[in-house]
Structure 1
Amino acid sequence: MFTGLIETTGTVVALNRNGESARLTLKTPMLTAEAQMGESIAINGCCLTVAEIDAA
């Protein structure tokens, strides 16, 4: 069984719900340095799409 690779950890800073969708805002230094728009990232085994990057 593949258990995954942990490359970084972060903190959930916001969860905004909008009807049937939601936006999860994370704070993690490594992710903002390497992530690209439209890329998939796994969070607790769930694949999510990078929709916005704010390196501030």
Structure 2
Amino acid sequence: MSNLASEEFWGRHTFDDFNAAATALRGWERTYNYERFSLALQGRTPAEKLAGVLPSAAA
């Protein structure tokens, strides 16, 4: 897992069991990939960046 995940997720949360951690991690990943913009990606989310480089489904 990336340093960012270590700092932003694992470094800020503790969990009582694996299922609680897995559920919370899925939520964090969704926010990270689809809602949280990145300055490194010129203000886009990772999902927006990926959509811009993948061939379109209509092609």
Taking structure 2 as the reference length, what is the TM-score of the superposition?
A: 0.20
Structure whose alpha-carbon radius of gyration is higher: 2
Taking structure 1 as the reference length, what is the TM-score of the superposition?
A: 0.20
**Which structure has more RCO (C-alpha within 8 Å, separation ≥ 6)?**
1
